[in-house]
């Protein structure tokens, strides 16, 4: 036990990951990330500006990191293929949106 | 240490075929997967089911379990020394066929039955083909830390204890515990992450350590609901405050404020207190949702007032229903 207080970096809307950092953060291969991008399951923030052969220039948001990590766990644990993952991610996010609507409306 | 009835955990008969075991596992894994399930104990159930499946899908482990598992309660606290002599264990799983959890996550019961022998097979959460090869940098790791809504307003320091499996010099997997004190900055949102450089898994052969990502999870609050950076509060008001207007005290996570209720405020009306939500870069708002509460007619005086309203007010709330 030490008394040092660690200060981290808060990942917010402005945080961007390079492709390499992104792959590290979700312990995945570049190939796997590229597949998910091709399926539209992950959206590099600068996708429009970057041609496919310049993938190393892609930047990812913290939100994409959350999606990628969920994708990784779903694939590992449930043996879902990439297209299935893309669908599951969208549905999970839809559920999240609906739940926050319920949350806003609910009276405990 | 508790005996684990793997058949009961999976809800299958003791003579279930491998097909049934596989199919049941897949159904349960989908049902309890922590990313999908809304069950409060999903994570625990998912682990239990994974452990049960790891044993029952493997004919060798299953028969070892069947042979010794049933005597567990009456038997010794660890398997007989030569308990596994009759079994031949195959080496690591075929690459890519990775399992959802590391052996370190399994119960003490599993540990004592199958112990070190399977250390390599389940070792350190290998995710097969997904792993980045040929790199000495340690892996990034992820953990959750629970905070209160108030912490998001004021910032806080949290200490968390992390258990991480590490390979020691002899090549054994050991669970290392370390405690970190983390500064939670103010203005954080549910699910947001904090990155701590160099606090992930140590690198190998002189490589640098990975990063640690901490996901912030809010404890549910007794009176506030949090939606993104906005905060919602149900505010009970009296019928006369609603009808005549009033200035009432309203709690906020930063202390109470006076709120003006306009005459004719309805039940369920949303009043916005700008920028009194979570102080993120663009601060959220605090929404006060009115709840008109009727006083009980439990005294003569109260009854008299209701009676007076009945006599003097020409009010039919069911007019729109045509009655």
Instruction: Kindly report the number of other CB atoms within 10 A of residue A60's CB atom.
Output: 27
Q: Output A3 or A57, whichever has higher pLDDT.
A: A57
pLDDT recorded at residue A64? 92
pLDDT recorded at residue B118? 47
pLDDT recorded at residue B109? 77
Tell whether the model's pLDDT for residue B137 goes beyond 90: no
Asked whether the beta carbons of residue A76 and residue B130 sit closer than 8 angstroms, the reply is: yes
Smallest Cβ–Cβ distance between B195 and the set A4, A8, A100 belongs to A8
pLDDT recorded at residue B198? 87
Q: How far is B143 from chain A (nearest CA, A)?
A: 12
The answer to whether the CB of B191 falls within 8 A of the CB of B216 is: yes
Asked whether the beta carbons of residue A27 and residue B192 sit closer than 8 angstroms, the reply is: no
Q: What residues in A contact B211, CB-CB < 8 Å?
A: 24-25
The answer to whether the CB of B193 falls within 8 A of the CB of B213 is: yes
Q: State the greatest distance between any 2 C-alpha atoms of chain B, in Å, as a whole number.
A: 92
Smallest Cβ–Cβ distance between B181 and the set A6, A11, A24 belongs to A6
Element (H, E) at A68: helix A62-78
CB pairs under 8 A between A and B: 116
pTM of this prediction exceeds 0.80: no
Q: Which long-range contacts (CB under 8 A, 24 or more apart) does B35-39 make?
A: B35/A70, B35/A73, B35/A74, B35/A92, B36/A74, B36/A88, B36/A92
Query: Which whole-number Å values give the CA distances from B22 to A49, A76, B27, B46, B312, in the listed order?
Result: 46, 15, 9, 15, 72
pLDDT recorded at residue B290? 95
Q: What residues in A contact B220, CB-CB < 8 Å?
A: none
Give the SS3 label for residue B212. strand
The mean of the pLDDT values for chain A is: 87
Residue of B nearest to A99 (CA): B227
Asked whether the beta carbons of residue A28 and residue B132 sit closer than 8 angstroms, the reply is: yes
Kindly state the DSSP code that residue A40 receives in the 8-state scheme.
Answer: T
Asked whether the beta carbons of residue B281 and residue A13 sit closer than 8 angstroms, the reply is: yes
Q: What are phi and psi of B28, to 5 degrees?
A: -65, -35
* Position B80 confidence tier, pLDDT thresholds 50, 70, 90: very low
| Interchain CB contact of A27 with B (< 8 Å) | yes
Q: How far apart are CA B125 and CA B123, in angstroms?
A: 6
Q: Which of A53, A64, A55, A50 is nearest to A17 (CA)?
A: A64
Q: How far apart are CA B147 and CA B102, in angstroms?
A: 27
Both ends of chain A: CA-CA distance in Å?
A: 40
pLDDT recorded at residue B17? 93
Asked whether the beta carbons of residue A107 and residue B191 sit closer than 8 angstroms, the reply is: no
Asked whether the beta carbons of residue B227 and residue A76 sit closer than 8 angstroms, the reply is: no
pLDDT recorded at residue B70? 61
Asked whether the beta carbons of residue B142 and residue A103 sit closer than 8 angstroms, the reply is: no
Of A86-100, B39-53, B86-100, B136-150, least confident by mean pLDDT is: B86-100
Q: How far is B31 from chain A (nearest CA, A)?
A: 10
Instruction: Kindly report the number of other CB atoms within 10 A of residue B94's CB atom.
Output: 9
Q: How far apart are CA B41 and CA B44, in angstroms?
A: 5
| Interchain CB contact of A102 with B (< 8 Å) | no
pLDDT recorded at residue A107? 60
Q: What residues in B contact A16, CB-CB < 8 Å?
A: none
* Position B115 confidence tier, pLDDT thresholds 50, 70, 90: low
Q: Which residues of B19-40 are buried (b: 16+ CB within 10 A; e: fewer)?
A: eebeebbeebbbebbebbbeee
The answer to whether the CB of B162 falls within 8 A of the CB of B178 is: yes
Asked whether the beta carbons of residue B131 and residue A4 sit closer than 8 angstroms, the reply is: no
Q: Which long-range contacts (CB under 8 A, 24 or more apart) does A91-99 make?
A: A92/B35, A92/B36, A93/A67
| Interchain CB contact of A105 with B (< 8 Å) | no
| Interchain CB contact of A80 with B (< 8 Å) | no
């Amino acid at each position: 036990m030490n008394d040092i207080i660690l200060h981290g970096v808060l990942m917010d809307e402005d945080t961007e990951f390079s492709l390499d950092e992104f792959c590290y953060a979700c312990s995945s291969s570049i190939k796997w990330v590229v597949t998910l991008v091709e399926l539209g399951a992950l959206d590099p923030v600068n996708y429009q500006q970057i041609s496919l052969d310049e993938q190393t220039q892609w930047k990812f948001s913290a939100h994409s990191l959350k999606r990628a990590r969920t994708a990784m766990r779903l694939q590992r644990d449930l043996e879902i293929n990439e297209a299935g993952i893309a669908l599951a991610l969208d549905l999970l996010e839809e559920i999240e949106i609906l739940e926050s609507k319920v949350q806003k409306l609910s009276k405990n | 240490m508790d005996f684990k009835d793997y058949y009961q955990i999976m809800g299958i008969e003791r003579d279930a075929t491998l097909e049934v075991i596989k199919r049941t596992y897949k159904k349960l894994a989908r049902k309890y997967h922590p990313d999908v399930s809304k069950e409060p104990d999903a994570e625990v159930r998912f682990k239990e089911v994974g452990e049960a499946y790891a044993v029952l899908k493997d004919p060798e482990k299953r028969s070892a379990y069947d042979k010794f598992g049933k005597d567990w309660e009456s038997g010794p606290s660890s398997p007989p020394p030569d308990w596994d002599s009759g079994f031949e264990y195959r080496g690591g799983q075929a690459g890519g066929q990775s399992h959802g959890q590391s052996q370190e996550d399994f119960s003490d019961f599993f540990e004592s039955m199958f112990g070190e022998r399977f250390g390599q097979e389940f070792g350190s959460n290998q995710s097969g083909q997904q792993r980045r090869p040929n790199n000495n940098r340690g892996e990034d790791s992820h953990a959750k830390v629970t905070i209160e809504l108030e912490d998001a307003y004021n910032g806080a320091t949290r200490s968390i204890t992390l258990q991480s499996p590490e390979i020691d010099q002899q090549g054994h997997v050991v669970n290392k515990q370390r405690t970190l004190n983390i500064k939670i900055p103010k203005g954080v949102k549910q699910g947001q992450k904090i990155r701590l450089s160099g606090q992930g898994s140590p690198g190998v052969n002189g490589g640098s350590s990975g990063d640690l990502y901490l996901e912030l999870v809010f404890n549910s609050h007794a009176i506030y609901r949090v939606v993104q950076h906005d905060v919602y509060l149900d505010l009970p008001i009296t019928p006369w405050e609603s009808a005549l207007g009033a200035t009432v005290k309203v709690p906020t996570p930063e202390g109470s404020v006076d709120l003006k209720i306009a005459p004719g405020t309805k039940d369920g009306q949303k009043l916005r207190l700008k920028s009194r939500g979570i102080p993120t870069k663009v601060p959220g708002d605090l929404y006060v949702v009115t709840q008109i509460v009727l006083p009980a007619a439990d005294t003569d005086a109260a009854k008299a007032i209701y009676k007076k309203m009945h006599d003097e007010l020409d009010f039919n709330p069911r007019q729109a229903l045509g009655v």
